[in-house]
């Protein structure tokens, strides 16, 4: 099997806790942000997909032109990537037919991924495994709006059972940037769709599910929050079964299980070919900027 790169297609809306819930029908589809139990809206107050969709072009509409040229202090996205020969970094070579691996070290993003947004790039600054890391570095904006900054890979392999793992380092994620998606695995290549994603909110993350349908017909499920350390690398692992009699997911941090196995409710009749997304989408209020680093991604199909 050809080495596949799996970053979820789609953009999900990222909302601050005071913002009413929203749904995207493009990109991270169906992400509704905080539910009523989190202090957000219920998705029926007019802040719907018709207000926020349309970012599949990859054009960042949130930050102003002056913001788009600025960079945050600390993480330096201007350090260029360094590409190395196969076999010198994290990913094994050759890969097994059922395994996809991405360490961002041997081929530029432009030849591997569908990239959207000017803030998603590779850099050799402060990687997890040398030389490169995938960086999402979003400058602050006072205007609000929406933007997309992500990479996507769709697979031809049929697999509703998989293990996804990656290293992540959230270096600057502020309260004004709540409810951003860190990663998602979707089965959305057919008419019936299903999305399972990790959503960040104020120092914690949780699993969320969606059938990628805008309100009021959306079917979204929220799972418990757990803490995710800032300013340090953490390896996140998701053991996922999205079909059969007992669909569920177990989340692990640095190899240690967090909580119990969560029961999933995948949409019936989904196309079994998965899509992977890393990165984020922001919608709603102005924000103070945030930085995410990703490295050493591995997806194993079962």
Q: What domains can you pick out in the chain, each with its CATH number?
A: 36-301 (2.60.120.200)
Place of tokens 């000017």: 118
Give the tens place of pLDDT for each residue, 57-71: 333 333 333 333 334
pLDDT at 289: 73
Lowest mean pLDDT among 160-169, 204-213, 283-292: 283-292
- Helices then strands, counting H and E runs in the chain, come out as 2, 16
Give the tens place of pLDDT for each residue, 217-260: 899 999 999 999 989 999 999 999 999 999 999 999 999 999 99
Indicate the SS3 state at residue 66: helix
State the average pLDDT for the chain: 75
User: Which tokens go with 42?
Assistant: 């219920």
Residues near 281 by Cβ (< 8 Å), separated by ≥ 6?
Answer: 11, 12, 13, 14, 24, 27, 28, 31, 55, 146, 147, 148, 149, 150, 180, 181
Q: Binning pLDDT at 50, 70 and 90, where does residue 9 land? A: very low
């Amino acid at each position: 099997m050809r080495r596949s790169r799996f970053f979820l297609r789609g953009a999900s809306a990222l909302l601050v806790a005071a913002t009413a819930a929203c749904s995207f029908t493009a990109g991270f589809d169906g992400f509704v942000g905080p539910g009523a139990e989190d202090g957000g809206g219920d998705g029926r107050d007019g802040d719907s997909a018709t207000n926020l969709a349309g970012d599949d072009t990859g054009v960042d509409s949130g930050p102003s032109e002056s913001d788009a040229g600025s960079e945050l202090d600390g993480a330096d996205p201007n350090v260029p990537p360094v590409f190395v020969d196969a076999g010198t970094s994290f990913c094994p070579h050759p890969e097994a037919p059922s395994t996809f691996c991405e360490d961002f070290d041997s081929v530029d993003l432009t030849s591997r991924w569908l990239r959207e947004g000017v803030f998603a790039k590779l850099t050799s600054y402060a990687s997890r495994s040398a030389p490169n890391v995938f960086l999402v570095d979003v400058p602050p904006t006072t205007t609000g709006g929406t933007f997309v900054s992500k990479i996507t890979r769709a697979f031809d392999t049929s697999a509703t059972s998989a293990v996804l793992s990656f290293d992540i380092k959230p270096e600057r994620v502020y309260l004004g940037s709540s409810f951003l998606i860190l990663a998602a695995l979707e089965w959305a290549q057919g008419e019936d769709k299903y999305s399972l994603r990790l959503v960040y909110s104020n120092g914690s993350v949780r699993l969320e599910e969606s059938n990628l349908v805008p309100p009021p017909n959306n079917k979204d499920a929220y799972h418990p929050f757990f803490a995710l350390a800032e300013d340090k690398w953490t390896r996140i692992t998701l053991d996922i079964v999205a079909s059969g009699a007992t669909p569920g997911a177990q989340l692990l941090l640095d190899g240690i299980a967090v909580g119990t196995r969560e029961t999933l409710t995948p949409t019936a009749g989904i196309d079994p070919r998965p899509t992977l997304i890393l990165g984020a989408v922001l919608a709603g209020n102005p924000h103070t900027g945030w930085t995410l680093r990703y490295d050493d991604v591995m997806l194993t199909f079962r």
